[in-house]
Amino acid sequence: MTDYDLHTGIGILDSQHQTFLTILEKIKNCDRTDSEKLATLIDELHLYTLYHFETEEKLLKESKVENFEAHQKKHNLLTEKIEEYRLENLTDSCLLAQGMCDFLEKWLFEHILETDMVDLAKVKAGENH
Ligand SMILES: [Fe+2]
Ligand SMILES: [Fe+2]
């Protein structure tokens, strides 16, 4: 998966995407039997996701990207999914972690390549006006 070029060309968003992956990596490598540690990391991921989506949506909105609502809906669905993971983790942390990481990693790569790239190109094009 690391072979893909995930750079959108907007520095702040690229570094936020990288941080998202770094937190996922921490979850993958943490001791799965330590449910408190896992809960803390899922909280961190949840808060970071909200923060990133807020930054990105602000840029999309300022640039009046026409499919802003559709993009925001995808963000909202992921936020809901992470909420579900947070709750599931309270009962079944060992089983949850690997499936969650695989899902989130796949989501992030696909979302950046198929949605962020397209819409953020419009943000960048607008900067030149
Ligand atoms: Fe996005
Ligand atoms: Fe993004």
Q: Assign residue 89 the CATH number of its domain.
A: 1.20.120.50
Determine the distance separating the centroid of ligand 2 and the alpha carbon of 80, expressed in angstroms. 16
Sign of the dihedral through C-alpha 76, 79, 84, 87 = negative
Report the pLDDT value the prediction gives residue 95, as an integer from 0 to 100.
Answer: 62
Q: Which ligand is nearest to the CA of 16?
A: 2
Q: Is 70 exposed, middle or buried (0-12, 13-18, 19+ CB in 10 A)?
A: exposed
Q: Residue 120 and residue 60: Cα distance in Å, rounded?
A: 7
Residue 2 in domain: no
- The model carries a pTM of 0.90
Residue 48 in domain: yes
Task: Give the residue with greater pLDDT, 24 vs 95.
Answer: 24
Q: Which ligand is nearest to the CA of 10?
A: 2
Report the pLDDT value the prediction gives residue 88, as an integer from 0 to 100.
Answer: 84
Residue 1 in domain: no
Q: Which ligand is nearest to the CA of 119?
A: 1
Whether 129 shows a pLDDT value over 90: the answer reads no
Residue 108 in domain: yes
CB under 5 Å of ion ligand 1: residues: 116
Q: Which ligand is nearest to the CA of 70?
A: 1
Determine the distance separating the centroid of ligand 1 and the alpha carbon of 33, expressed in angstroms. 32
Residue 104 in domain: yes
Which residues, at least 6 apart from 54, have a Cβ–Cβ distance to it below 8 Å?
A: none
Q: What are phi and psi of 45, to 5 degrees?
A: -65, -40
What's the domain range around 92? 11-127
Sign of the dihedral through C-alpha 46, 47, 50, 55 = negative
Total structural domains within the chain: 1
Q: Which ligand is nearest to the CA of 109?
A: 2
Tens digit of each residue's pLDDT (9 = 90 or more) over 24-46: 999 989 887 888 888 899 999 99
**92 token code pair:** 């079944």
Whether 120 shows a pLDDT value over 90: the answer reads yes
Summarize the confidence of residues 57-71 as an average pLDDT.
Answer: 96
